[in-house]
């Protein structure tokens, strides 16, 4: 099936668009009236750039916070862990694969926010069709559509694309495109969009990521192409090789200065989606770093450990006090094993292997007092949300070289670049998270890539990818690359009542509303999934 993305959204009748213009929200009926009432605002009366920031903000909504990632993927790939017994029982979804009251709501968050973001990007394409001066804005909008579609598909599998965003034309029940056809279309569309970027012309305004820097958008486009291409190494190696080589030749990120992220603005209501949960009392107390991650960082003598982790001061009160910083000495850090609780039974944390004992006494006692929690940098409501980084692209290029793709440099040099970039990127969390150059150099020197075999190289590359994306709280990307690479090797949690038969979930089921609102297309898509619409089923590129 050949997909052509040649449709653009027409304003007015698509289910609700929220125009973040002068803080006014219009209903669906209002939007319809905008097209016919000359006394009301219309696309000709405002700058289409305004949609870009809303589009980018909604993308962050799909990839951070309670819309799924921190409640699902963060624990599935054992970046975070939780005892999930008090107020934060919703973390059972990620730590034990056990449903909570709102699991169905959480599982649709990435879908809804992703399509909302794509809709806003598509609105830009409509408003600027045939107009001069918006060439780069149009290219960026197309890239944002592709970024969203890749995210949604990687999480759910087959999704609407060729027929998506056409409700105004009466197409309210779009067919689901196979992920195989979708990826082929997205890569070709991305190539066109990146090639249309012109640094000699005006860049987009209202750009939260690069502030209109067209040269950086071009690097982002090629870096996204690389990531998409490498998803396909198991199922379509020829396509993976072709587009990875195109991306490398075109020019991916050159340093951590090119990292794609958004810094938040809490004063004006734009709060980091992951900081919000960690500033919730029950989350703050019960969410800890996973033993898997802490053990890995300690084994590498990773300088990020002192920045990201702390052992709370002794006692229940101290463990619940936001104002009290903990002990960040690397040797004292201890990750919480996934899959335990504080319910007093066989899975009580006190029965975990190597349990260190709690802290405090009497009414001030806490069983989990000695386990490492995220430091205050992650509770900063203005902290950055990372989308794609130089470290990730260098790791992917290192893997491409291991696989024999035509890319400049060596796998070892690209891996060293990635380690350097990963440490430098932490500085975006603030001065307290910055790592000095001498420390960076020492770490890179002490951790060269093992090139004794391809298997050893791939293991190191993808373990570092997992750790780097996890420490930047890009949980979905850590999970997707784990699915693709099978690194690191993780031991699943087998907890009573889990929804994935004691295995780590490999996709999210479709939103429950799809079965009713788009039944025929939904059923066709489900029937194509080996195993059905389950948490354990695999998306196309995630072959065995």
Q: Does the pLDDT at position 31 exceed 60?
A: no
Grade residue 10 by pLDDT with cuts at 50, 70 and 90.
very low
Model pLDDT, residue 1: 35
288, β-bridge pairs: 81
Token pair belonging to 352? 């975990």
Grade residue 168 by pLDDT with cuts at 50, 70 and 90.
low
Alpha helices in 251-389 (DSSP H): 275-278, 281-286, 291-299, 305-308, 316-319
Q: Does the pLDDT at position 299 exceed 80?
A: yes
Chain segment 78-105, per-residue pLDDT in tens: 999 999 876 668 999 999 999 998 999 9
DSSP 165-192: T-GGGT--SPPPBPHHHHHHHHHHHHHH
Q: Does the pLDDT at position 320 exceed 80?
A: yes
Q: Is 278 contained in some domain?
A: no
Q: Is 264 contained in some domain?
A: no
Domain that holds residue 176: 1-208+474-539
Chain segment 110-134, per-residue pLDDT in tens: 999 999 999 999 999 999 999 999 9
Q: Do you find a cis peptide bond into 387, omega within 30 degrees of 0?
A: no
Please give the mean pLDDT across all residues of the chain.
91
Identify the weakest region by mean pLDDT among 6-20, 242-256, 489-503. Answer: 6-20
Using CB atoms within 10 Å of the CB of residue 353, give its burial: 0 to 12 exposed, 13 to 18 middle, 19+ buried: exposed
Question: What is the count of structural domains for the chain?
Answer: 1
Model pLDDT, residue 165: 75
Nearest-5° angle of CA 537, CA 541, CA 544? 60
Q: Are 90 and 289 in contact (CB under 8 A)?
A: no
Q: Is 167 contained in some domain?
A: yes
Residue 460: which of 403, 405, 410, 399 has the closest Cα?
399
In whole angstroms, give the CA distance from residue 181 to residue 183: 6
Q: Is 26 contained in some domain?
A: yes
Nearest-5° angle of CA 531, CA 537, CA 541? 120
| Domain at 192, CATH number | 1.25.40.390
Q: Is 318 contained in some domain?
A: no
Q: Does the pLDDT at position 172 exceed 80?
A: no
Model pLDDT, residue 350: 97
Chain segment 244-296, per-residue pLDDT in tens: 999 999 999 999 999 999 999 999 999 999 999 999 999 999 999 999 999 99
Q: Is 519 contained in some domain?
A: yes
Residue 124: which of 8, 5, 7, 4 has the closest Cα?
8
Range 326-354 average pLDDT: 96
Model pLDDT, residue 391: 99
Which one of 9-18, 24-33, 86-95, 390-399 scores highest in mean pLDDT? 390-399
Using CB atoms within 10 Å of the CB of residue 4, give its burial: 0 to 12 exposed, 13 to 18 middle, 19+ buried: exposed
Q: 311 φ, ψ to 5°? A: -95, 120
Residue 137: which of 57, 220, 51, 71 has the closest Cα?
51
Range 462-467 average pLDDT: 98
Token pair belonging to 326? 């903990």
Q: Quick count: other Cβ atoms within 10 Å of Cβ 436? A: 10
In whole angstroms, give the CA distance from residue 369 to residue 324: 13
Q: Does the pLDDT at position 224 exceed 80?
A: yes
What element of type H or E holds 487? none
440 Cα distance to chain centroid? 25
Model pLDDT, residue 544: 73
Chain segment 40-68, per-residue pLDDT in tens: 556 566 789 999 999 999 999 999 999 99
24, β-bridge pairs: 21
Model pLDDT, residue 409: 98
289, β-bridge pairs: 80
Using CB atoms within 10 Å of the CB of residue 489, give its burial: 0 to 12 exposed, 13 to 18 middle, 19+ buried: exposed
Model pLDDT, residue 171: 75
Q: Is 252 contained in some domain?
A: no
Q: Are 508 and 103 in contact (CB under 8 A)?
A: no
Model pLDDT, residue 314: 98
Model pLDDT, residue 167: 66
What does the H/E/C string look like for 353-403? Answer: CCCCCCECCHHHCECCCCCCEECHHHHCCCCEEEEECHHHHHHHHHHHHHC
Q: Is 14 contained in some domain?
A: yes
């Amino acid at each position: 099936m050949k997909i052509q993305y040649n449709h653009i959204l027409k304003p007015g009748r698509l289910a609700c668009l929220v125009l973040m213009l002068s803080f006014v929200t219009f209903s669906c009926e209002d939007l319809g009236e905008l097209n016919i009432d000359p006394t009301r605002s219309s696309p000709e009366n405002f700058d289409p750039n305004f949609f870009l920031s809303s589009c980018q903000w909604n993308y962050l909504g799909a990839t951070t916070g309670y819309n799924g990632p921190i409640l699902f993927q963060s624990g599935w790939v054992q970046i975070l862990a939780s005892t999930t017994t008090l107020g934060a029982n919703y973390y059972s979804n990620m730590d034990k694969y056990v449903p909570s009251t709102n699991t169905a709501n959480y599982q649709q968050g990435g879908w809804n926010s992703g399509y909302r973001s794509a809709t806003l990007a598509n609105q830009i394409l409509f408003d600027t069709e045939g107009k001069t001066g918006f060439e780069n804005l149009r290219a960026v909008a197309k890239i944002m559509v592709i970024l969203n579609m890749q995210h949604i598909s990687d999480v759910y599998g087959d999704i609407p694309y060729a027929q998506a965003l056409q409700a105004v034309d009466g197409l309210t029940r779009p067919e689901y495109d196979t992920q195989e056809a979708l990826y082929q279309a997205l890569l070709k569309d991305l190539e066109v969009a990146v090639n249309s970027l012109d640094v000699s012309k005006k860049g987009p305004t209202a750009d939260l990521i690069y502030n209109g820097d067209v040269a950086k958008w071009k690097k982002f486009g090629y870096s996204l192409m690389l990531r998409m291409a490498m998803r396909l190494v198991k199922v379509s190696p020829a396509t993976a090789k072709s587009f990875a080589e195109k991306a490398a030749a075109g020019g991916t990120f050159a340093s951590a200065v090119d990292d794609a992220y958004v810094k938040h603005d809490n004063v004006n209501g734009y709060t980091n989606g992951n900081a919000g949960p960690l500033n919730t009392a029950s989350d703050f107390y019960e969410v800890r770093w996973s033993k898997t991650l802490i053990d890995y960082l300690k084994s590498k003598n990773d300088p990020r450990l002192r920045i990201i982790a702390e052992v709370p001061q002794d006692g229940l009160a101290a463990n619940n006090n936001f104002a009290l910083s903990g002990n960040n000495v690397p040797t004292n850090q201890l990750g919480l094993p996934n899959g335990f609780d504080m319910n007093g039974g066989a899975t009580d944390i006190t029965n975990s292997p190597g349990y260190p004992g709690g802290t405090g006494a009497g009414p001030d006692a806490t069983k989990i007092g000695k386990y490492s929690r995220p430091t205050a940098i992650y509770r900063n409501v203005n902290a950055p949300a990372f989308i794609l980084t130089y470290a990730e692209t260098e790791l992917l290029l290192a893997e491409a070289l291991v696989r024999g793709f035509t890319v400049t440099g060596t796998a070892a040099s690209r891996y060293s670049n990635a380690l350097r970039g990963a440490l430098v990127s932490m500085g975006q969390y603030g001065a307290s998270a910055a790592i000095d150059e001498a420390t960076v150099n020492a770490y890179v020197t002490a951790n060269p890539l093992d090139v004794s075999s391809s298997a050893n190289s791939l293991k190191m590359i993808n373990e570092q990818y997992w750790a780097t994306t996890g420490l930047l709280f890009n949980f979905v990307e850590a999970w997707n690359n784990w699915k693709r690479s099978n690194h690191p090797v993780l031991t699943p949690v087998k907890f009573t009542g889990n929804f994935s038969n004691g295995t780590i979930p490999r996709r999210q089921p479709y939103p429950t509303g799809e079965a009713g609102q788009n039944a025929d297309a939904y059923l066709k898509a489900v029937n194509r999934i080996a195993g059905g619409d389950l948490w354990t089923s695999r998306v196309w590129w995630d072959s065995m």
